[in-house]
With several copies, the nearest count.
Chain A
Amino acid sequence: MSEENYQHILQGLLYVCGDEGLELQDAAGVLDLTEQETKQQLLLLQQSMKDDVPGLQVQCFGTRFQLVTADSIAPYIEKLAEGPRQAKLSQAALETLAIISYNQPITRIEIDDIRGVKSERAVQTLIHKALVQESGRAQAPGRPILYKTTERFLEHFNISSLEELPALGAEPEEPSTEEADLFFKELEDEN
Protein backbone atom coordinates (compact mmCIF):
# COMPACT_ATOMS: atom_id res chain seq x y z
CA MET A 1 0.00 0.00 0.00
CA SER A 2 1.29 3.46 -0.72
CA GLU A 3 2.01 5.97 1.98
CA GLU A 4 -0.75 8.12 0.59
CA ASN A 5 -3.27 5.37 1.11
CA TYR A 6 -2.25 4.97 4.72
CA GLN A 7 -2.91 8.64 5.23
CA HIS A 8 -6.38 8.44 3.71
CA ILE A 9 -7.31 5.44 5.81
CA LEU A 10 -6.08 7.15 8.96
CA GLN A 11 -8.19 10.20 8.16
CA GLY A 12 -11.25 8.00 8.03
CA LEU A 13 -10.34 6.01 11.13
CA LEU A 14 -9.71 9.14 13.17
CA TYR A 15 -12.98 10.59 12.02
CA VAL A 16 -15.20 7.64 12.91
CA CYS A 17 -13.51 7.27 16.29
CA GLY A 18 -14.40 10.86 17.00
CA ASP A 19 -14.21 11.89 20.62
CA GLU A 20 -13.09 8.48 21.75
CA GLY A 21 -9.87 8.64 19.84
CA LEU A 22 -7.99 5.96 17.96
CA GLU A 23 -5.62 3.60 19.77
CA LEU A 24 -2.27 3.18 18.06
CA GLN A 25 -2.51 -0.57 18.45
CA ASP A 26 -5.87 -0.75 16.69
CA ALA A 27 -4.74 1.52 13.88
CA ALA A 28 -1.66 -0.67 13.38
CA GLY A 29 -3.90 -3.72 13.19
CA VAL A 30 -6.02 -2.16 10.48
CA LEU A 31 -3.06 -0.94 8.44
CA ASP A 32 -1.06 -4.10 8.95
CA LEU A 33 1.93 -2.08 10.07
CA THR A 34 3.99 -2.10 13.22
CA GLU A 35 2.96 0.36 15.89
CA GLN A 36 6.16 2.25 15.22
CA GLU A 37 5.37 2.60 11.55
CA THR A 38 1.78 3.52 12.29
CA LYS A 39 2.84 6.22 14.68
CA GLN A 40 5.12 7.56 11.98
CA GLN A 41 2.16 7.77 9.63
CA LEU A 42 -0.03 9.44 12.22
CA LEU A 43 2.63 12.07 12.91
CA LEU A 44 2.94 12.71 9.20
CA LEU A 45 -0.81 13.14 9.03
CA GLN A 46 -0.72 15.48 11.98
CA GLN A 47 1.67 17.67 10.03
CA SER A 48 -0.15 17.61 6.71
CA MET A 49 -3.55 18.27 8.26
CA LYS A 50 -2.27 21.64 9.40
CA ASP A 51 -2.13 22.77 5.80
CA ASP A 52 -4.85 20.66 4.29
CA VAL A 53 -7.59 20.94 6.92
CA PRO A 54 -6.78 23.85 9.18
CA GLY A 55 -10.18 23.57 10.84
CA LEU A 56 -9.21 20.26 12.38
CA GLN A 57 -6.14 18.95 14.15
CA VAL A 58 -4.77 15.62 15.24
CA GLN A 59 -3.96 15.37 18.93
CA CYS A 60 -1.87 12.70 20.55
CA PHE A 61 -2.35 11.49 24.11
CA GLY A 62 0.16 8.74 24.78
CA THR A 63 -0.90 5.97 22.42
CA ARG A 64 -4.23 7.54 21.58
CA PHE A 65 -4.79 9.84 18.63
CA GLN A 66 -7.80 12.03 18.35
CA LEU A 67 -9.22 14.36 15.76
CA VAL A 68 -10.47 17.62 17.24
CA THR A 69 -11.40 21.04 15.98
CA ALA A 70 -8.67 23.66 15.73
CA ASP A 71 -8.29 26.10 18.60
CA SER A 72 -8.74 29.03 16.30
CA ILE A 73 -12.33 28.16 15.43
CA ALA A 74 -13.46 27.42 18.97
CA PRO A 75 -15.67 30.52 19.15
CA TYR A 76 -17.63 29.33 16.13
CA ILE A 77 -18.17 25.86 17.55
CA GLU A 78 -19.54 27.48 20.67
CA LYS A 79 -21.73 29.72 18.60
CA LEU A 80 -23.17 26.67 16.89
CA ALA A 81 -23.93 24.98 20.18
CA GLU A 82 -25.57 28.03 21.62
CA GLY A 83 -27.17 29.15 18.45
CA PRO A 84 -30.86 29.91 18.51
CA ARG A 85 -31.77 26.36 17.74
CA GLN A 86 -35.22 25.03 18.02
CA ALA A 87 -35.83 23.54 21.40
CA LYS A 88 -35.42 19.86 20.77
CA LEU A 89 -34.34 16.76 22.56
CA SER A 90 -30.72 15.82 22.02
CA GLN A 91 -29.80 12.79 20.01
CA ALA A 92 -28.60 11.18 23.23
CA ALA A 93 -31.90 11.76 24.97
CA LEU A 94 -33.92 10.52 22.01
CA GLU A 95 -31.87 7.36 21.66
CA THR A 96 -32.21 6.67 25.32
CA LEU A 97 -35.92 7.28 25.20
CA ALA A 98 -36.28 4.86 22.30
CA ILE A 99 -34.34 2.20 24.16
CA ILE A 100 -36.38 2.62 27.31
CA SER A 101 -39.72 2.67 25.54
CA TYR A 102 -39.04 -0.56 23.71
CA ASN A 103 -37.30 -2.39 26.56
CA GLN A 104 -38.99 -1.25 29.70
CA PRO A 105 -38.37 -1.76 32.48
CA ILE A 106 -34.64 -1.49 31.91
CA THR A 107 -31.59 -0.59 33.98
CA ARG A 108 -29.17 2.18 33.19
CA ILE A 109 -26.36 -0.26 32.60
CA GLU A 110 -28.40 -2.06 29.96
CA ILE A 111 -29.03 1.25 28.26
CA ASP A 112 -25.32 2.06 28.37
CA ASP A 113 -24.62 -1.31 26.80
CA ILE A 114 -26.94 -0.70 23.91
CA ARG A 115 -25.76 2.85 23.31
CA GLY A 116 -22.11 2.10 23.89
CA VAL A 117 -21.75 5.22 26.00
CA LYS A 118 -22.79 6.38 29.42
CA SER A 119 -26.37 7.50 29.46
CA GLU A 120 -26.68 8.90 32.94
CA ARG A 121 -27.26 12.46 31.84
CA ALA A 122 -29.70 11.48 29.17
CA VAL A 123 -31.74 9.45 31.66
CA GLN A 124 -31.73 12.38 34.07
CA THR A 125 -32.92 14.72 31.35
CA LEU A 126 -35.77 12.38 30.51
CA ILE A 127 -36.77 12.11 34.15
CA HIS A 128 -36.70 15.91 34.39
CA LYS A 129 -39.02 16.14 31.46
CA ALA A 130 -41.26 13.52 33.04
CA LEU A 131 -41.02 11.23 30.03
CA VAL A 132 -39.35 8.51 32.07
CA GLN A 133 -39.71 7.39 35.67
CA GLU A 134 -38.22 4.87 38.04
CA SER A 135 -39.96 1.55 38.28
CA GLY A 136 -38.58 -0.47 41.16
CA ARG A 137 -35.31 -2.34 41.19
CA ALA A 138 -33.95 -5.25 39.23
CA GLN A 139 -33.23 -8.60 40.87
CA ALA A 140 -29.58 -8.27 40.02
CA PRO A 141 -26.40 -7.60 41.99
CA GLY A 142 -26.53 -4.10 43.36
CA ARG A 143 -30.28 -4.04 42.72
CA PRO A 144 -30.05 -1.38 40.03
CA ILE A 145 -32.93 0.98 39.41
CA LEU A 146 -35.30 0.12 36.60
CA TYR A 147 -36.75 2.77 34.31
CA LYS A 148 -39.97 2.93 32.36
CA THR A 149 -41.85 5.52 30.36
CA THR A 150 -44.58 7.67 31.87
CA GLU A 151 -48.13 8.53 31.01
CA ARG A 152 -46.84 11.84 29.81
CA PHE A 153 -44.72 9.95 27.31
CA LEU A 154 -47.84 8.39 25.78
CA GLU A 155 -49.63 11.70 25.89
CA HIS A 156 -46.82 13.54 24.28
CA PHE A 157 -46.44 11.11 21.42
CA ASN A 158 -50.15 10.85 21.14
CA ILE A 159 -50.41 7.11 21.49
CA SER A 160 -52.92 5.41 23.70
CA SER A 161 -50.72 2.56 24.84
CA LEU A 162 -47.24 1.16 24.44
CA GLU A 163 -48.60 -1.45 22.06
CA GLU A 164 -49.14 1.36 19.63
CA LEU A 165 -45.44 1.98 19.23
CA PRO A 166 -44.41 0.95 15.74
CA ALA A 167 -43.23 -2.64 15.97
CA LEU A 168 -39.48 -2.79 16.38
CA GLY A 169 -37.66 -4.64 13.67
CA ALA A 170 -40.85 -5.92 12.18
CA GLU A 171 -39.77 -6.59 8.67
CA PRO A 172 -42.54 -7.03 6.22
CA GLU A 173 -42.93 -10.69 5.80
CA GLU A 174 -41.04 -11.92 2.85
CA PRO A 175 -41.90 -15.33 1.61
CA SER A 176 -38.93 -17.05 3.12
CA THR A 177 -36.31 -18.93 1.21
CA GLU A 178 -37.49 -21.99 3.03
CA GLU A 179 -40.83 -21.72 1.39
CA ALA A 180 -39.28 -21.28 -2.01
CA ASP A 181 -37.07 -24.29 -1.40
CA LEU A 182 -40.06 -26.32 -0.40
CA PHE A 183 -41.75 -25.26 -3.56
CA PHE A 184 -38.83 -26.45 -5.69
CA LYS A 185 -38.58 -29.68 -3.91
CA GLU A 186 -42.19 -30.56 -4.41
CA LEU A 187 -42.01 -29.62 -8.03
CA GLU A 188 -39.11 -31.97 -8.48
CA ASP A 189 -40.94 -34.72 -6.70
CA GLU A 190 -43.85 -34.28 -9.01
CA ASN A 191 -41.70 -34.85 -12.04
Chain B
Amino acid sequence: MERYSVQIDTFQGPLDLLLHLIQQAEVDIYNIPVAEITEQYLHYVQTMQELELDIASEYLVMAATLLEIKSQMLLPGEEDPGEDAFVEEEDPRQELMSRLVEYKKYKEAAVELREKEQEGAGRYAKGSSMDEEAIEEKYAAAVPENLSLFDMLDAYQKLKERVRYHTPKETKIKGGEVTIEDRMTSILSFLEDKQNGITFIELFPSGERSHMVVSFLAVLELMKHKQITCVQEENFEEIMVYQTEEELVGE
Protein backbone atom coordinates (compact mmCIF):
# COMPACT_ATOMS: atom_id res chain seq x y z
CA MET B 1 0.00 0.00 0.00
CA GLU B 2 2.97 2.27 0.48
CA ARG B 3 2.82 3.76 -2.95
CA TYR B 4 -0.75 4.92 -2.54
CA SER B 5 -0.12 6.84 0.60
CA VAL B 6 1.55 9.59 -1.35
CA GLN B 7 -0.13 12.88 -1.26
CA ILE B 8 -3.58 12.71 -2.74
CA ASP B 9 -4.15 15.64 -4.93
CA THR B 10 -7.83 15.67 -5.15
CA PHE B 11 -8.15 14.37 -8.63
CA GLN B 12 -10.06 16.17 -11.30
CA GLY B 13 -11.11 13.01 -13.04
CA PRO B 14 -9.74 9.81 -14.54
CA LEU B 15 -7.31 11.61 -16.81
CA ASP B 16 -5.94 13.53 -13.88
CA LEU B 17 -5.54 10.36 -11.88
CA LEU B 18 -3.81 8.64 -14.77
CA LEU B 19 -1.42 11.53 -15.23
CA HIS B 20 -0.61 11.30 -11.57
CA LEU B 21 0.11 7.58 -11.79
CA ILE B 22 2.25 8.04 -14.87
CA GLN B 23 4.21 10.81 -13.28
CA GLN B 24 4.64 8.80 -10.14
CA ALA B 25 5.87 5.78 -12.03
CA GLU B 26 8.29 8.10 -13.81
CA VAL B 27 7.37 6.69 -17.17
CA ASP B 28 6.95 8.39 -20.50
CA ILE B 29 3.49 9.52 -21.37
CA TYR B 30 4.16 8.27 -24.92
CA ASN B 31 5.13 4.86 -23.74
CA ILE B 32 2.85 3.92 -20.90
CA PRO B 33 3.42 0.53 -19.33
CA VAL B 34 -0.24 -0.28 -19.61
CA ALA B 35 -0.30 -3.39 -17.44
CA GLU B 36 1.36 -1.69 -14.52
CA ILE B 37 -0.60 1.54 -14.74
CA THR B 38 -3.88 -0.29 -15.18
CA GLU B 39 -3.26 -2.31 -12.07
CA GLN B 40 -2.53 0.80 -10.07
CA TYR B 41 -5.49 2.61 -11.51
CA LEU B 42 -7.86 -0.22 -10.63
CA HIS B 43 -6.43 -0.40 -7.17
CA TYR B 44 -7.08 3.26 -6.72
CA VAL B 45 -10.65 3.07 -7.91
CA GLN B 46 -11.21 0.06 -5.70
CA THR B 47 -9.91 1.87 -2.65
CA MET B 48 -12.12 4.80 -3.45
CA GLN B 49 -15.04 2.43 -3.68
CA GLU B 50 -14.24 0.84 -0.36
CA LEU B 51 -14.12 4.24 1.18
CA GLU B 52 -17.44 4.94 -0.41
CA LEU B 53 -16.09 8.07 -1.94
CA ASP B 54 -18.38 9.20 -4.63
CA ILE B 55 -16.86 7.84 -7.80
CA ALA B 56 -17.93 9.46 -10.98
CA SER B 57 -18.86 6.97 -13.63
CA GLU B 58 -16.08 8.40 -15.76
CA TYR B 59 -13.59 6.59 -13.56
CA LEU B 60 -15.20 3.28 -14.32
CA VAL B 61 -15.36 4.00 -18.03
CA MET B 62 -11.65 4.71 -17.96
CA ALA B 63 -11.03 1.48 -16.07
CA ALA B 64 -12.77 -0.41 -18.86
CA THR B 65 -10.77 1.45 -21.49
CA LEU B 66 -7.51 0.58 -19.77
CA LEU B 67 -8.43 -3.08 -19.54
CA GLU B 68 -9.30 -3.10 -23.21
CA ILE B 69 -6.00 -1.54 -24.17
CA LYS B 70 -4.18 -3.98 -21.96
CA SER B 71 -5.81 -6.96 -23.62
CA GLN B 72 -5.15 -5.58 -27.09
CA MET B 73 -1.51 -5.22 -26.25
CA LEU B 74 -1.36 -8.82 -25.17
CA LEU B 75 -2.62 -10.02 -28.54
CA PRO B 76 0.20 -11.14 -30.78
CA GLY B 77 0.74 -9.14 -33.95
CA GLU B 78 -1.38 -10.58 -36.71
CA GLU B 79 0.92 -10.71 -39.68
CA ASP B 80 4.40 -11.98 -39.92
CA PRO B 81 6.84 -9.22 -39.73
CA GLY B 82 7.46 -9.32 -43.42
CA GLU B 83 7.60 -6.43 -45.84
CA ASP B 84 4.78 -4.81 -43.98
CA ALA B 85 6.76 -4.54 -40.82
CA PHE B 86 7.32 -0.87 -41.41
CA VAL B 87 3.68 -0.15 -41.92
CA GLU B 88 3.00 1.29 -38.55
CA GLU B 89 0.54 -0.72 -36.66
CA GLU B 90 -1.91 1.35 -34.70
CA ASP B 91 -0.76 1.44 -31.11
CA PRO B 92 -3.79 0.63 -28.99
CA ARG B 93 -2.55 3.26 -26.57
CA GLN B 94 -2.58 5.97 -29.20
CA GLU B 95 -5.93 7.49 -28.45
CA LEU B 96 -5.42 7.49 -24.71
CA MET B 97 -1.99 9.04 -25.14
CA SER B 98 -3.31 11.91 -27.18
CA ARG B 99 -6.09 12.51 -24.70
CA LEU B 100 -3.61 12.59 -21.88
CA VAL B 101 -1.31 14.93 -23.75
CA GLU B 102 -4.19 17.22 -24.56
CA TYR B 103 -5.48 17.26 -21.02
CA LYS B 104 -2.00 17.83 -19.63
CA LYS B 105 -1.64 20.97 -21.71
CA TYR B 106 -4.66 22.54 -20.08
CA LYS B 107 -3.74 21.34 -16.65
CA GLU B 108 -0.49 23.19 -17.08
CA ALA B 109 -2.23 26.22 -18.50
CA ALA B 110 -4.43 26.22 -15.40
CA VAL B 111 -1.33 26.47 -13.25
CA GLU B 112 -0.19 29.50 -15.21
CA LEU B 113 -3.61 31.07 -14.89
CA ARG B 114 -3.46 30.53 -11.16
CA GLU B 115 -0.17 32.41 -11.05
CA LYS B 116 -1.61 35.25 -13.04
CA GLU B 117 -4.63 35.29 -10.77
CA GLN B 118 -2.39 35.77 -7.78
CA GLU B 119 -0.35 38.40 -9.54
CA GLY B 120 -3.33 40.66 -9.95
CA ALA B 121 -4.76 39.94 -6.52
CA GLY B 122 -3.17 42.92 -4.77
CA ARG B 123 -4.38 45.59 -7.14
CA TYR B 124 -7.28 47.63 -5.98
CA ALA B 125 -9.49 50.20 -7.62
CA LYS B 126 -12.11 52.58 -6.37
CA GLY B 127 -15.72 52.42 -7.40
CA SER B 128 -16.81 54.52 -10.33
CA SER B 129 -17.65 58.14 -9.65
CA MET B 130 -19.54 58.58 -12.85
CA ASP B 131 -22.99 59.87 -12.23
CA GLU B 132 -24.64 57.56 -14.65
CA GLU B 133 -27.80 57.47 -12.70
CA ALA B 134 -28.74 60.92 -13.92
CA ILE B 135 -28.48 59.76 -17.51
CA GLU B 136 -30.31 56.62 -16.60
CA GLU B 137 -33.23 58.61 -15.31
CA LYS B 138 -33.51 60.37 -18.61
CA TYR B 139 -34.37 57.11 -20.25
CA ALA B 140 -36.90 56.51 -17.50
CA ALA B 141 -38.78 53.32 -18.16
CA ALA B 142 -36.63 51.96 -20.93
CA VAL B 143 -34.52 48.94 -20.22
CA PRO B 144 -31.46 48.81 -22.42
CA GLU B 145 -31.98 46.26 -25.13
CA ASN B 146 -28.68 44.52 -24.82
CA LEU B 147 -28.76 44.08 -21.06
CA SER B 148 -27.99 40.50 -20.14
CA LEU B 149 -27.90 38.39 -17.04
CA PHE B 150 -24.19 38.46 -17.47
CA ASP B 151 -24.04 42.24 -17.02
CA MET B 152 -25.79 41.85 -13.72
CA LEU B 153 -23.41 39.13 -12.57
CA ASP B 154 -20.44 41.18 -13.66
CA ALA B 155 -21.65 44.12 -11.63
CA TYR B 156 -22.22 41.89 -8.64
CA GLN B 157 -18.71 40.46 -8.86
CA LYS B 158 -17.25 43.95 -8.99
CA LEU B 159 -19.23 44.81 -5.91
CA LYS B 160 -17.82 41.83 -4.09
CA GLU B 161 -14.30 42.70 -5.09
CA ARG B 162 -14.49 46.32 -4.15
CA VAL B 163 -12.43 47.51 -1.25
CA ARG B 164 -14.62 48.27 1.72
CA TYR B 165 -13.24 51.19 3.65
CA HIS B 166 -16.17 51.25 6.07
CA THR B 167 -15.23 48.25 8.10
CA PRO B 168 -13.41 49.23 11.24
CA LYS B 169 -10.13 47.48 11.57
CA GLU B 170 -9.60 47.51 15.30
CA THR B 171 -11.51 44.36 16.09
CA LYS B 172 -9.45 42.32 13.74
CA ILE B 173 -6.13 43.16 15.31
CA LYS B 174 -7.44 42.29 18.75
CA GLY B 175 -8.44 38.86 17.55
CA GLY B 176 -5.02 38.05 16.25
CA GLU B 177 -3.31 38.31 19.58
CA VAL B 178 -5.03 35.45 21.33
CA THR B 179 -2.57 32.72 22.22
CA ILE B 180 -3.35 29.03 22.32
CA GLU B 181 -2.99 29.08 26.11
CA ASP B 182 -5.47 31.95 26.40
CA ARG B 183 -7.90 30.15 24.21
CA MET B 184 -7.51 26.88 26.15
CA THR B 185 -8.37 28.71 29.35
CA SER B 186 -11.34 30.47 27.85
CA ILE B 187 -12.68 27.29 26.29
CA LEU B 188 -12.45 25.49 29.63
CA SER B 189 -14.25 28.24 31.49
CA PHE B 190 -16.84 28.38 28.74
CA LEU B 191 -17.45 24.65 29.20
CA GLU B 192 -17.46 24.76 32.98
CA ASP B 193 -21.17 25.17 33.51
CA LYS B 194 -22.26 23.41 30.34
CA GLN B 195 -23.11 19.92 31.56
CA ASN B 196 -24.69 18.95 28.26
CA GLY B 197 -21.67 19.97 26.33
CA ILE B 198 -21.57 22.35 23.43
CA THR B 199 -21.33 21.88 19.72
CA PHE B 200 -17.89 22.02 18.20
CA ILE B 201 -18.87 24.95 16.06
CA GLU B 202 -19.63 27.07 19.11
CA LEU B 203 -15.92 27.12 19.81
CA PHE B 204 -15.42 29.22 16.73
CA PRO B 205 -17.35 32.39 17.40
CA SER B 206 -14.99 34.47 15.31
CA GLY B 207 -14.91 34.07 11.57
CA GLU B 208 -11.40 35.35 11.62
CA ARG B 209 -8.93 32.89 10.28
CA SER B 210 -6.17 33.22 12.83
CA HIS B 211 -8.64 33.03 15.67
CA MET B 212 -10.12 29.87 14.20
CA VAL B 213 -6.72 28.29 13.87
CA VAL B 214 -5.82 29.18 17.46
CA SER B 215 -9.15 27.80 18.66
CA PHE B 216 -8.62 24.59 16.78
CA LEU B 217 -5.12 24.11 18.14
CA ALA B 218 -6.43 24.83 21.61
CA VAL B 219 -9.06 22.11 21.21
CA LEU B 220 -6.42 19.61 20.09
CA GLU B 221 -4.23 20.54 23.02
CA LEU B 222 -7.09 20.17 25.47
CA MET B 223 -7.95 16.78 24.01
CA LYS B 224 -4.37 15.68 24.36
CA HIS B 225 -4.42 16.63 28.03
CA LYS B 226 -7.75 14.84 28.36
CA GLN B 227 -9.33 18.03 29.66
CA ILE B 228 -12.10 17.89 27.13
CA THR B 229 -13.82 15.08 25.29
CA CYS B 230 -15.17 15.25 21.80
CA VAL B 231 -17.94 12.93 20.71
CA GLN B 232 -19.36 12.41 17.28
CA GLU B 233 -22.23 9.97 17.22
CA GLU B 234 -22.14 9.32 13.53
CA ASN B 235 -20.41 10.48 10.40
CA PHE B 236 -21.23 14.11 9.62
CA GLU B 237 -23.12 14.45 12.88
CA GLU B 238 -22.45 17.49 14.95
CA ILE B 239 -19.35 17.03 17.09
CA MET B 240 -20.16 17.60 20.76
CA VAL B 241 -17.52 18.87 23.16
CA TYR B 242 -17.65 18.08 26.89
CA GLN B 243 -15.48 18.98 29.77
CA THR B 244 -13.86 15.79 31.02
CA GLU B 245 -14.99 14.68 34.48
CA GLU B 246 -12.72 15.90 37.23
CA GLU B 247 -11.59 12.48 38.42
CA LEU B 248 -10.46 11.47 34.95
CA VAL B 249 -8.29 14.53 34.57
CA GLY B 250 -6.16 13.50 37.47
CA GLU B 251 -5.25 10.16 35.96
Partners in one complex: yes
- A-to-B contact residues, CB < 8 Å: 12, 15-20, 26, 29, 57, 59, 66-71, 74-75, 77-95, 97-99, 101-102, 114-118, 121-122, 125, 127-131, 133-134, 150, 152, 155-159, 165-166, 168-169, 172, 174-176, 179-180, 182-184, 186-188, 190-191
Measured between C-beta atoms, what is the minimum distance from B157 to chain A in Å?
Answer: 5
Going nearest first, the 3 A-B pairs with the smallest beta carbon separation are A74-B122, A18-B126, A158-B120
What is the distance, in angstroms, from B98's C-beta to the closest C-beta of chain A?
Answer: 7
Distance between Cα atoms of A119 and B52 in the complex (Å): 22
A113 CB to closest chain B CB (Å) equals: 8
Neighbouring A residues of B166 by C-beta, 8 Å: 82, 116
Contact yes or no, A69 B51, CB < 8 A: no
A89 to B118, CA, bound (A): 11
Residues of A within 8 A of B165 (CB): 16-17, 20, 26, 80-82
- Asked if A89 contacts B4 (CB within 8 A), the reply is no
- A129, B114: Cα distance in complex, Å: 16
Query: When the two chains form their complex, are residues B154 and A99 in contact, meaning their CB atoms are under 8 A apart?
Result: no
A-B residue pairs in contact (CB < 8 Å), sample of 19: A15-B129, A16-B128, A17-B129, A19-B161, A74-B121, A81-B163, A81-B165, A114-B106, A115-B12, A116-B14, A116-B16, A116-B162, A127-B153, A129-B140, A129-B143, A133-B150, A157-B117, A187-B47, A188-B5
Are A68's CB and B102's CB within 8 A? no
Q: Given A16-B129, A69-B124, A81-B131, are A117 and B116 neighbors across the interface (CB < 8 Å)?
A: no
Instruction: Determine if A19 and B150 form an interchain contact, defined as CB atoms under 8 angstroms apart.
Output: no
How far, in whole Å, are A92 and B151 apart by their CA atoms in the complex?
12
Which residues of B are found within 8 Å of A86, using beta-carbon distances?
121, 144, 146
Nearest residue (CB) in B for A178 is: B236
List of B residues within 8 angstroms of A91 by Cβ:
10, 12, 110, 127-128, 132, 155, 158
Give chain A nearest CB distance to B81 CB in angstroms. 11
Contact B116 A97 (CB under 8 A): no
Would you call B109 an interface residue if the criterion is a C-beta within 8 Å of the partner chain's C-beta atoms? Answer: yes
A117 near B58: Cβ-Cβ < 8 Å: yes
By a CB distance below 8 angstroms, the chain A residues around B62 are: 116
CB contacts between A and B, total, < 8 Å: 297
Give chain B interface residues in 35-63, CB to chain A under 8 Å: 47-48, 50-51, 53, 56, 58, 62
Chain B residues with CB below 8 A from A89, complex form: 114, 117, 136, 143-144, 147, 151
Whether B123 sits at the interface, judged by CB under 8 Å, is yes
CB distance from A170 to the nearest CB of B (A): 9
CB distance from A55 to the nearest CB of B (A): 11
B4 A98 Cβ-Cβ under 8 A: no
Residues of B within 8 A of A81 (CB): 130-132, 134-135, 163-165, 167
CA separation between A122 and B132, bound complex, in Å? 10
Q: Do the beta carbons of B141 and A128 come within 8 Å of each other?
A: yes
**Partner of A18 from B129, B133, B145 at Cβ < 8 Å:** B129
Given A82-B135, A168-B109: 20 more A-B contacts, CB < 8 Å: A68-B125, A71-B122, A74-B122, A80-B130, A81-B130, A81-B134, A82-B167, A83-B124, A95-B156, A97-B110, A117-B15, A117-B56, A128-B137, A131-B143, A157-B113, A159-B149, A166-B149, A172-B98, A180-B10, A183-B48
Given contact pairs A69-B123, A116-B99, A95 touches B116 in the complex (Cβ within 8 A): no
The answer to whether the Cβ of B107 comes within 8 Å of any Cβ in the partner chain is: yes
Instruction: A191 to B5: give the CA distance in the assembly, Å.
Output: 10
- Among A18, A98, A166, the residue within 8 A (CB) of B155 is A98
A129→B150 contact, CB < 8 A: no
Interchain nearest-CB distance for B241 vs A (Å): 18
- Chain B, residues 153-182, CB within 8 Å of chain A (1/0): the string is 111111111111111010000000000000
Q: CA separation between A85 and B121, bound complex, in Å?
A: 10
Residue of chain B at shortest CB distance from A159? B116
CA distance A80 to B127 in the complex (A): 16
**Is B198 part of the contact surface with A, judged by Cβ < 8 Å?**
no
Query: Are B56's CB and A16's CB within 8 A?
Result: no
